[in-house]
Structures are given as structure tokens and as C-alpha cells.
């Protein structure tokens, strides 16, 4: 991408410290609950991998994958590409998101899990971009609030690229 610049917004050290803090809060609340952590693919995979390695108690992992209907962007017209393979009825569920922008994806997934009758349902997000919110979302565990910029790295992509960057970076057009 010759016409784009990457500027580090959240360095890897800051992310690691925040992940440890989130893990401490989650440990306090879930250490005796054998929770199911549900990661939203693909963006949450790096965050989830780092987070669960800081959680030293019994838990289970699942993943779901969502996609916007083709040709639309964050319209709420979402479909599940990969649904939950296990029953969550009566279980404590923690949904793990990379970034919450409009909130439509999160509102959709939280509504979907709720129909499966979990004992409890909470949300953990690494990043919150509240400027463009159009669906209300309660974030129980939050890493960082970010400005209304397009960010990549640490699992987040632009056109499926940059997920492997270790820092969260702002993607900008070159002047
Ligand atoms: P929402 O439905 O608008 O809240 O968007 C949620 C999804 O959009 C996230 O899980 C990301 O996959 C994607 N997204 C939103 N903002 C960004 C960004 O700044 N960088 C990369 N992906 C983003």
C-alpha cells in the first residue's frame, strides 16, 4: 500500500499492560464460574490469544464469525458465517470483541447469544470508538477508547491486511 502511512497509536507494551489489567478484572469475576469466552472472528483472534494466556482458571473457548451482507457496510444487515457449535444455556458467557464502532455487530451478537439463555452475558472489548455509535452497547471490560480514525494491527485489518502488526496503528492516506 504505497499511498498509505501507518502511525503507531497504541504500542505493544501498552497493549500488553492493558491486557494484563483486563485479565485481572476477568479473573476476579470469573475464576470460579467456568465461563465460555466467545471470540468474534477474525479481528479478535490476537487479543483473545493474549488475554486467555493471562487467565489461569478453567474456561472454554468458542468463536463465531459474522459478515455484512455483500455491498453494505455496518448497516446491521449481518449474517452468521460460523454459529456457536456448543450449547451455552445456563453458562456464564463473555463475548470478546476487537473494536466497537457503530455497535451494530456487537448488538447483533449479544442478541444472538441472549436467545441461547446463558446464565450471564458480558462483553469485553479491546477498543471502543464511540464517535460513530448508533446501537447502544454496554462494555463490561474495556481496554482503550480510540478516536474516530481507522486503526489496524493486533488483529485488526484493512482489506484483510495488517492483522499481523504487533501495535495498533492509524492508517492514513499519504499527503
Ligand atoms: P461495528 O458493527 O460498526 O461496531 O463494527 C465492528 C467491526 O467493524 C469490528 O469488529 C471490526 O471488524 C470493524 N471495524 C470497525 N472499525 C474498525 C477500524 O478502525 N479498523 C478495523 N476494523 C474496524
Q: What is the CATH number of the domain that holds 28?
A: 3.40.50.2020
Taking residues 12-24, what's their average pLDDT?
Answer: 98
Determine the pLDDT at residue 136: 92
Is the pLDDT reported for residue 3 higher than 70? no
Ligand 1 atom showing the smallest separation from residue 40 Cα: 10
Q: How far is the CA of 101 from the centre of ligand 1 (A)?
A: 5
Q: How many residues does the chain have?
A: 175
Coil, helix or strand at residue 39: strand
Residues β-bridged to residue 152:
169
Determine the pLDDT at residue 77: 72
Is the pLDDT reported for residue 80 higher than 90? no
Is the pLDDT reported for residue 101 higher than 70? yes
> What distance in Å separates the CA atoms of residue 175 and residue 162, rounded to the nearest whole number?
21
Arithmetic mean of pLDDT over the chain: 91
- Best of 10, 104, 156 to mutate for ligand 1, by most ligand atoms within 8 A of CB? 156
> What distance in Å separates the CA atoms of residue 108 and residue 26, rounded to the nearest whole number?
23
Determine the pLDDT at residue 24: 98
Whether residue 160 lies inside any domain: the answer is: no
Ligand 1 atom showing the smallest separation from residue 156 Cα: 21
Per-residue pLDDT tens digits for 43-71: 999 999 999 999 999 999 999 988 765 44
Per cent of the chain over pLDDT 90 is 81
Hey, which residues are catalytic here? 101
Joined together, the cell numbers standing for residue 112 give 444472538
Around ligand 1, the residues with Cβ closer than 6 Å are 43, 74, 97-106, 129, 150-152, 156
Whether residue 114 lies inside any domain: the answer is: yes
Question: Higher confidence at residue 13 or residue 112?
Answer: 13
Q: How far is the CA of 32 from the centre of ligand 1 (A)?
A: 32
Backbone angles phi, psi at 43, to 5 degrees: -55, -30
Highest averaged pLDDT of the listed ranges 22-26, 156-160, 169-173: 22-26
> What distance in Å separates the CA atoms of residue 135 and residue 165, rounded to the nearest whole number?
29
- Best of 47, 101, 149, 165 to mutate for ligand 1, by most ligand atoms within 8 A of CB? 101
Backbone angles phi, psi at 48, to 5 degrees: -60, -40
**What secondary structure letter does DSSP report for 129?**
-
Cβ-proximal residues to 98 (8 Å cutoff; 6+ apart), any chain: 40, 43, 44, 47, 125, 126, 127, 154, 155, 156
Ligand 1 atom showing the smallest separation from residue 157 Cα: 21
Determine the pLDDT at residue 147: 96
In total, how many domains does the chain have?
Answer: 1
Determine the pLDDT at residue 68: 66
Whether residue 166 lies inside any domain: the answer is: no
Whether residue 27 lies inside any domain: the answer is: yes
Q: How far is the CA of 104 from the centre of ligand 1 (A)?
A: 10
Whether residue 123 lies inside any domain: the answer is: yes
Q: Domain range holding 115?
A: 13-68+76-148
Amino acid at each position: 500500500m504505497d499511498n498509505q502511512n501507518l502511525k503507531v497509536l497504541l504500542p505493544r507494551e501498552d497493549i500488553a499492560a492493558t491486557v494484563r489489567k483486563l485479565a485481572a478484572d476477568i479473573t476476579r469475576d470469573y475464576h470460579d464460574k467456568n465461563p465460555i469466552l466467545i471470540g468474534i472472528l477474525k479481528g479478535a483472534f490476537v487479543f483473545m490469544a493474549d488475554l486467555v494466556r493471562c487467565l489461569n482458571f478453567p474456561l472454554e473457548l468458542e468463536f463465531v464469525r459474522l459478515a455484512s451482507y455483500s455491498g453494505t457496510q455496518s448497516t446491521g444487515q449481518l449474517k452468521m458465517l460460523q454459529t456457536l457449535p456448543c450449547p451455552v444455556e445456563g453458562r456464564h458467557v463473555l463475548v470478546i470483541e476487537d473494536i466497537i464502532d457503530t455497535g451494530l455487530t456487537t448488538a447483533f451478537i449479544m442478541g444472538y447469544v441472549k436467545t441461547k439463555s446463558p446464565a450471564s452475558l458480558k462483553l469485553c472489548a479491546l477498543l471502543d470508538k464511540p464517535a460513530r455509535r448508533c446501537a447502544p452497547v454496554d462494555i463490561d471490560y474495556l481496554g482503550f477508547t480510540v478516536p474516530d480514525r481507522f486503526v489496524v494491527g493486533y488483529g485488526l485489518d484493512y482489506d484483510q491486511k495488517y492483522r499481523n502488526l504487533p501495535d495498533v496503528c492509524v492508517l492514513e492516506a499519504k499527503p
